[in-house]
Structure 1
Amino acid sequence: MPQLNPNPWLFTMLIAWLTLSMILQPKLLSFITTNLPTHKTQTAIKTTPWTWPWT
């Protein structure tokens, strides 16, 4: 079965992965701005006890 032979496809996969990770990824990440972390104020949650109708 020629599909199981990794010889012709392994080199192509490695070159494509290296191209993506070394060349394209830094160029794409330079256009994406990340959101700065903001501090949210914590509000106290006021809970009321559940009143059971049968008690």
Structure 2
Amino acid sequence: MPQLNPNPWLFIMITSWLTFSLIIQPKLLAFVTTNPPTSKTPMTSDTTPWTWPWT
């Protein structure tokens, strides 16, 4: 059964994870968000109860 042979797939998986962890991830984490959520003020809305005409 070729699925149980980890020889080619283990090397490919380890290489791809090392590439992601060492090269791609630091470049992605270096970006600064243009609109961080902490800079927004919380919006409060005035909620009034609905008056039903038949009560």
**What is the Cα deviation at residue 15 of structure 1?**
1.5
For structure 1, list consecutive stretches of 5 or more residues without a partner in the other structure: none
Percent identity for Structure 1 against Structure 2: 62
TM-score by length of 1: 0.60
Structure 2 length normalisation: TM-score? 0.60
Larger helix fraction of residues: 2
CA RMSD of aligned residues (A): 2.3
Aligned-partner Cα distance in 1 for 2:40–2:2: 57
**SS across alignment from 2:12:** helix
Runs of 4+ in structure 1 over 6 Å off: none
> Structure 1 CA distance, aligned partners of 2:51 and 2:28?
56
